[in-house]
């Protein structure tokens, strides 16, 4: 049984409600139709009901058993407005909150999650990462044991599974921030039943080059070790030394991961975003994510280049993470 079969089994027992703000995306329609028909979850699609039904019919997708919500006619809009204003603590008026909820489906969907009318949200097939992250940070907010969120991808091909971060959020993280990203990513890896072996990536292996960038990754590695002394982790380390045992034997003969890393932490967002896409496109891997780590409730952000299967799998992870948690107490 692979990780997603395990997730299906887990999620099906709870049959949670997950909201998908992009009801006019064919990839979203196809994935949510499957998820509902398989009895895994109860998807909510946001948008104009008549337009969504016509759009689905044109593409031969049956959404007759899905819940469709039009923010313009939602009977509990006043309740969402009230809770939105309360959450923002004076930073927004009731009139502004109403306008935001009616004009931006990501804000509306996030409020459904915040008020526990949905267990999680999946967006980003059409919208940018910023469009998904902004309402999540303002409304769902970061868990008390973290200082930030980060974006992780699960890369899958056959029985090969790798976890990579940060690929979506933090542009130039410090050593301390990288350590937190690594720890959060380790918790994500454990949630999918992966025994983490972590590589803190750089263009240098164990001092083969010296710069602020290499020292940052070496320091981040030590910070993680202090908090998780039993974790298999190494850094700073080049990708080949982290991934190929023969090269690890030459470049880092005493490495605890010994060229068998399955969790990769990139030194910057630039490296992470480019890196995961190279693996996905050149290597033929499914890229599930970006999963937004560190929020009080699960909100996940698709890549706009995603396919139907990646939507399906990210929805499974979103629902499963809401059930399993990551060991951090919510706000």
302 with 289, same domain: the answer is no
Q: According to DSSP H, which parts of the chain are helical?
A: 3-14, 26-37, 49-58, 77-88, 94-103, 105-114, 129-135, 175-191, 212-227, 239-243, 245-251, 269-283, 308-324
* % of the chain with per-residue pLDDT over 70: 98
Is the predicted pLDDT of residue 303 greater than 90, yes or no? no
Is the predicted pLDDT of residue 267 greater than 80, yes or no? yes
41 with 21, same domain: the answer is yes
189 with 227, same domain: the answer is yes
Name the band, by pLDDT with cuts 50, 70 and 90, for residue 130.
Answer: very high
Domains in the chain, number: 2
Q: What is the CATH number of the domain that holds 87?
A: 3.40.50.10950
Name the band, by pLDDT with cuts 50, 70 and 90, for residue 93.
Answer: very high
Distance CA 131, CA 133 (A): 6
Alpha carbon 28 to its chain's center: 16
Is the predicted pLDDT of residue 326 greater than 70, yes or no? no
168 within 8 A of 151, measured Cβ to Cβ? yes
Distance CA 123, CA 139 (A): 16
Query: Which residue range is the domain that position 181 belongs to?
Result: 147-293
The number of C-alpha atoms within 13 Å of 285 and in the hemisphere containing its C-beta is 21
Mean pLDDT of the chain: 94
40 with 124, same domain: the answer is yes
169 with 214, same domain: the answer is yes
Is the predicted pLDDT of residue 245 greater than 80, yes or no? yes
Distance CA 39, CA 81 (A): 32
107 with 178, same domain: the answer is no
Instruction: Dump pLDDT digits (tens) for 10-58.
Output: 999 999 999 999 999 999 999 999 999 999 999 999 999 999 999 999 9
Average pLDDT rounded to a whole number, residues 297-302 = 93
SS3 assignment, position 151: strand
The dihedrals phi and psi of 230, each to the nearest 5 degrees, come to -90, 0
Q: What is the CATH number of the domain that holds 260?
A: 3.40.50.10750
- CA–CA distances in Å: residue 53 to residues 46, 124, 179: 12, 21, 46
Instruction: Dump pLDDT digits (tens) for 163-205.
Output: 999 999 999 999 999 999 999 999 999 988 899 999 999 999 9
- CA–CA distances in Å: residue 259 to residues 32, 159, 232, 265: 38, 18, 11, 15
Residue 192's nearest CA partner among 40, 1, 36 is 1
108 within 8 A of 71, measured Cβ to Cβ? yes
134 with 213, same domain: the answer is no
Instruction: Dump pLDDT digits (tens) for 149-166.
Output: 999 999 999 889 999 999
314 with 234, same domain: the answer is no
191 with 127, same domain: the answer is no
* % of the chain with per-residue pLDDT over 90: 87
- Cis peptide bond N-terminal to 236, omega within 30: yes
Q: Identify which has the larger pLDDT, 40 or 329.
A: 40
pLDDT at 231: 97
Average pLDDT rounded to a whole number, residues 246-251 = 96
228 with 315, same domain: the answer is no
111 within 8 A of 101, measured Cβ to Cβ? yes
As a three-state string, the secondary structure of 20-48 is: ECCCCCHHHHHHHHHHHHCCCCEEEEECC
The dihedrals phi and psi of 307, each to the nearest 5 degrees, come to -110, 175
Distance CA 256, CA 275 (A): 23
Average pLDDT rounded to a whole number, residues 231-249 = 97
Average pLDDT rounded to a whole number, residues 243-249 = 97
Name the band, by pLDDT with cuts 50, 70 and 90, for residue 111.
Answer: very high
Q: Identify which has the larger pLDDT, 234 or 330.
A: 234
pLDDT at 327: 58
161 with 74, same domain: the answer is no
CB atoms within 10 A of CB 75: 7
* β-pair partners for 233: 198
Is the predicted pLDDT of residue 4 greater than 90, yes or no? no
Dihedral angle sign, alpha carbons of residues 272, 275, 276, 277: positive
């Amino acid at each position: 049984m692979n990780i997603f079969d395990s997730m299906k089994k887990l999620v099906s027992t709870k049959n949670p409600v997950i909201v998908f703000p992009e009801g006019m995306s064919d990839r979203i329609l196809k994935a949510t139709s499957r998820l509902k028909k398989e009895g895994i979850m109860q998807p909510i699609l946001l948008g104009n009901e008549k337009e969504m039904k016509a759009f689905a019919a044109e593409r031969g997708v049956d959404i007759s058993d899905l819940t469709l919500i039009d923010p313009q006619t939602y009977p509990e809009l006043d309740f969402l407005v009230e809770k939105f204003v309360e959450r923002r603590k004076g930073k927004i008026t009731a009139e502004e909150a109403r306008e935001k909820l009616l004009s931006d489906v990501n804000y509306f969907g996030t409020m459904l999650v915040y008020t526990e009318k949905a267990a999680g949200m999946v967006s980003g097939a059409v919208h940018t990462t910023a469009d998904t992250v902004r309402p999540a940070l303002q409304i769902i907010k970061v868990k008390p044991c973290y200082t930030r969120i980060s974006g992780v991808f699960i890369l899958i091909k056959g029985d090969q599974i790798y976890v990579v971060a940060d690929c979506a959020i933090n542009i130039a993280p410090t050593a301390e921030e990288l350590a937190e990203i690594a720890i959060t990513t380790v918790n994500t890896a454990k949630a999918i039943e992966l025994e983490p072996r972590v590589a803190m990536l750089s263009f240098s292996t164990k001092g083969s080059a010296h710069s602020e960038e290499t020292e940052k990754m070496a320091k981040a590695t030590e910070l993680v070790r202090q908090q998780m002394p039993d974790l298999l982790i190494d850094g700073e380390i080049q990708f080949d030394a982290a991934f190929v045992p023969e090269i690890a034997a030459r470049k880092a003969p005493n490495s605890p991961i010994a060229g068998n890393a399955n969790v990769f932490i990139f030194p910057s967002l630039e490296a992470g975003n480019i890196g995961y896409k190279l693996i996905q496109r050149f290597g033929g891997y499914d890229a599930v994510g970006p999963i937004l780590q560190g929020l009080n409730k699960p909100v996940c952000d698709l890549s706009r280049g995603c396919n139907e299967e990646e939507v399906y799998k990210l929805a499974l992870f979103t629902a499963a993470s809401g059930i399993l948690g990551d060991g951090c107490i919510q706000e």
